[in-house]
Amino acid sequence: MGLNANDISESMYDIAEPRASAMIESLRAFGYNVQTAIADLIDNSISAGARNVWLSFCWDGANSYISIRDDGHGMTEAQLISAMRLGSQSPLEEREADDLGRFGLGLKTASFSQCRRLTVASRSENYAVAIRRWDLDYVNQVDEWRLLRLPAEGSIQKLNDLETMPCGTIVLWECLDRIVGEVKTNDQKAQDDFLETVEIIENHLAMVFHRFLEKRDRLKLWINQHSVKPWNPFLPDAQATQILPLEPLTFNGETVRVQPYVLPHHSKIDLDTYNNAAGLNGWNAQQGFYVYRNERLLVAGDWLSLGGYRKDEHCKLARIQVDLPNSMDSDWNIDIKKSRARPPASLKEALKRIARLTRHRATDIYRHRGKIIVLKNAEKYVFPWDKKLRRGKVFYAVNQEHPLVQEVLNLPNTCQPVIRALLRLLEETVPVQQIWIDNSTEPEKQPQPFDGTSSEQVLEVMVEIYRALRKSGMTQEQARSRILTMEPFQHFETLAKTLSDQLILGNLA
């Protein structure tokens, strides 16, 4: 139904090409930051079959530069010219299944977002090194997209490494006005900021490309000579990580794989592992879906506006891996920066259900410290505290059914008023707010029950419960196993097994 180009004669149109000088600033404003921009270049390297990508960050004040070199298949001169063109390939064209590119813009927009001079040198096997350069100041002056054939003065040695490689590509960013600006080389503060930026980039890449970095011989990333270690959001190797069932969802004849994880309660892993697993933005921010396209991470922890779910403290252990093929880009609304994805309407219900389930499971782990007690019979697990509702509000009451509390409440009548007054006062003043704040700001500082307490002291408490249970008519064996279903004595199995009438008598003696 569209126009037929043959029906339109020259008198019927004007050419209205975008003005180069006016386009520059909008092309620079795609919303990349330095780490997402560099990740986009590494996508290109991976698509070009690179096994190694070397990043160099060189500090030299206003002359600082960044280079990204890969050992991929490289480009011939003609391919390089086409690659440097804005919109080198239409997003509507079908891509190789393992291609990480999309809009034919990344190389240019990602680079322009950070620097004013982009030089690319590339070498395809059996070809000479080809070089092209975009210099935004020059484009601005001449108001034409003139792609320069020579590197800037003094840049050539930064591209030298390619000479010794059979094939590969170097992307060189100079005039880093967005990262460094007009500063002197001896500006210590600016240099520190630059180094900090390098660290941010490293952490980001460790996350975005972790699945590539984890596989042997798949991809190595080097930053100023040291290799980047992968950061896996799911702690799959930690024993206490719960891996829920994988759910394959079908969409337009293709499969989206959804793999929910519930990470371990902090008491189940060591402090370093716990702190490291928090990730770039901390535990709370890193919960939710992790959307991967061809194993490259696009979205790192987001509930994707499903079901009105928010990032709640008690759900922070929930992380769900979602794997998309690159043929679903437009259905998932993948943006140019590859940092956004929105599920298609027909998958929302299923994803919401999985989110609900995982959040639920994560909340259990968060609240009960991940204890999974296998009860042999229908006996209830006994906590000293009860959560109750009073006029629609939550409050915490001492569990009056607890054997030890029962024992106290069975003391002679004369003692009752003071005991009841004490219990009531404690219940009314549970420092919920303070506990919540402490636990969420420094969870690792919240001890386990009887943490660092001697066995004797734990036993003192156990003995009183044992005594109460025996009094209520239980056998020695029953009393011992009952204690093991009481918070927190399930963690003191060996100690509980030493309980006996004999021991109590010994204690009394």
Ligand X SMILES: Nc1ncnc2c1ncn2[C@@H]1O[C@H](COP(=O)(O)OP(=O)(O)O)[C@@H](O)[C@H]1O
User: What does residue 133 show for φ and ψ, rounded to 5 degrees?
Assistant: -140, 135
Look up tokens 């390619």; give the residue: 162
Footprint (CB under 6 A) of ligand X, residues 86-115: 88-89, 101-108
CA distance to 74, 258, 293, 329, 502, per residue, from 341 (Å): 30, 15, 10, 8, 66
Q: How many CB atoms lie within 10 A of CB 367?
A: 11
Judged by CB under 6 A, the residue of 39, 75, 262, 462 near ligand X is: 75
Binding characters for Mg ion, 30-49, by CB under 5 A (x = yes) = --------------x-----
Footprint (CB under 6 A) of ligand X, residues 168-187: 169
Choose between 75 and 159: whose C-beta lies nearer to ligand X.
75
Residue 503 Cα to chain centre, angstroms: 52
DSSP state of 144: S
Nearest distance in Å: CB 89, ligand X: 5
Choose between 48 and 228: whose C-beta lies nearer to ligand X.
48
Nearest distance in Å: CB 82, Mg ion: 13
Footprint (CB under 6 A) of ligand X, residues 17-46: 44-45
Nearest distance in Å: CB 98, Mg ion: 13
Choose between 46 and 322: whose C-beta lies nearer to ligand X.
46
Binding characters for ligand X, 183-222, by CB under 6 A (x = yes) = ----------------------------------------
Nearest distance in Å: CB 69, ligand X: 9
Among ligand X, Mg ion, none, residue 105 binds (CB under 5-8 Å by kind) = ligand X
Choose between 74 and 343: whose C-beta lies nearer to ligand X.
74
Q: Are 337 and 376 in contact (CB under 8 A)?
A: no
Binding characters for Mg ion, 93-122, by CB under 5 A (x = yes) = --------x----x----------------
* First vs last C-alpha separation in the chain: 101
Q: Are 344 and 332 in contact (CB under 8 A)?
A: yes
Nearest distance in Å: CB 75, ligand X: 5
Among Mg ion, ligand X, none, residue 104 binds (CB under 5-8 Å by kind) = ligand X
Nearest distance in Å: CB 180, ligand X: 23
Choose between 296 and 467: whose C-beta lies nearer to ligand X.
296
The Cα–Cα gap between 391 and 278 comes to: 38
Helical pair 188-208 and 34-47, crossing angle rounded to 10 deg: 50
Choose between 70 and 202: whose C-beta lies nearer to ligand X.
70
Identify the CA nearest to 58 among candidates 191, 206, 227.
191
The Cα–Cα gap between 290 and 254 comes to: 19
Nearest distance in Å: CB 28, Mg ion: 17
Q: Does 72 bind ligand X (CB under 6 A)?
A: yes
Torsion of CA 68, 72, 76, 78, to 10 degrees: -70
Q: How many CB atoms lie within 10 A of CB 179?
A: 18
Task: Say if residue 403 is preceded by a cis peptide, omega within 30 of 0.
Answer: no
Among Mg ion, ligand X, none, residue 102 binds (CB under 5-8 Å by kind) = ligand X
Choose between 242 and 326: whose C-beta lies nearer to Mg ion.
326
Identify the CA nearest to 209 among candidates 243, 232, 235, 225.
232
The Cα–Cα gap between 324 and 347 comes to: 12
Nearest distance in Å: CB 107, Mg ion: 6
Judged by CB under 6 A, the residue of 74, 151, 260, 279 near ligand X is: 74
The Cα–Cα gap between 302 and 266 comes to: 21
Q: How many CB atoms lie within 10 A of CB 157?
A: 8
Choose between 105 and 322: whose C-beta lies nearer to Mg ion.
105
Choose between 104 and 279: whose C-beta lies nearer to ligand X.
104
Q: Which stretch binds ligand X (CB under 6 A): 81-89, 192-200, 235-243, 488-496?
A: 81-89
The Cα–Cα gap between 48 and 80 comes to: 13
**Helix boundaries (H) for 71-187:** 77-84, 106-112, 136-142
Nearest distance in Å: CB 68, Mg ion: 12
Choose between 100 and 228: whose C-beta lies nearer to ligand X.
100
CA distance to 85, 292, 354, 462, per residue, from 349 (Å): 41, 19, 9, 49
Q: Which two tokens stand for residue 98?
A: 């393992």
Using CB under 6 A, count the residues that bind ligand X: 19
Binding characters for Mg ion, 58-97, by CB under 5 A (x = yes) = ----------------------------------------
Q: Which position's Cβ is nearest ligand X? A: 101
Nearest distance in Å: CB 36, Mg ion: 12
Q: Are 328 and 295 in contact (CB under 8 A)?
A: no
Q: Are 130 and 77 in contact (CB under 8 A)?
A: yes
Q: Which helix (H) or strand (E) holds 350?
A: helix 345-368
Which residue ranges make up the site for ligand X (CB under 6 A)? 44-45, 48, 70, 72, 74-75, 83, 88-89, 101-108, 169
Which residue ranges make up the site for Mg ion (CB under 5 A)? 44, 101, 106
